[in-house]
Structure 1
Amino acid sequence: MLRAILHEIIGLFVDDGALALALVLWCGAVGATHRVAPAVSMPVLGAALLAGCAAILLGNIRRHASRRG
């Protein structure tokens, strides 16, 4: 059972190129925001990075779960 759970979690990251691409793009967008608008504080950028990555991961989990039925 534990092995199956770990396999599913690893599969979310390894098998899904869309997840990796979305995370890279989001990190790039937050980094670009820091360069373009340096007045935005690091805690705000950190919160945006965390919230965006969490939203991307949750969206990926929902899509993956709906495919499995």
Structure 2
Amino acid sequence: MAHWNGKEMVHFATKPCKTHPKWDVIDCGCCAGIEWGGEEPRECRTCNSTGVIYQHRKSGVTAEYPGGPFT
């Protein structure tokens, strides 16, 4: 999950998903599950405030949760 270190956003590198071997865990890009836009922060709609999304290695499909037809 990306976080603010006081000077800049720090993002983590892509990691393999432990529970679904054909998927990678990628950083959503939000800051600790919060999107900043306008005056008020709000929960990230892309990752549902988890800070991470999953990407299927072969197809490149991204999803909030791994699995489905791409298991």
Q: Is the TM-score greater than 0.5?
A: no
Higher CA-based Rg: 1
* Higher RCO (CA-CA < 8 Å; seq separation 6+): 1
Superposition TM-score, scaled by structure 2 size? 0.32
Higher fraction of helix: 1
Superposition TM-score, scaled by structure 1 size? 0.33
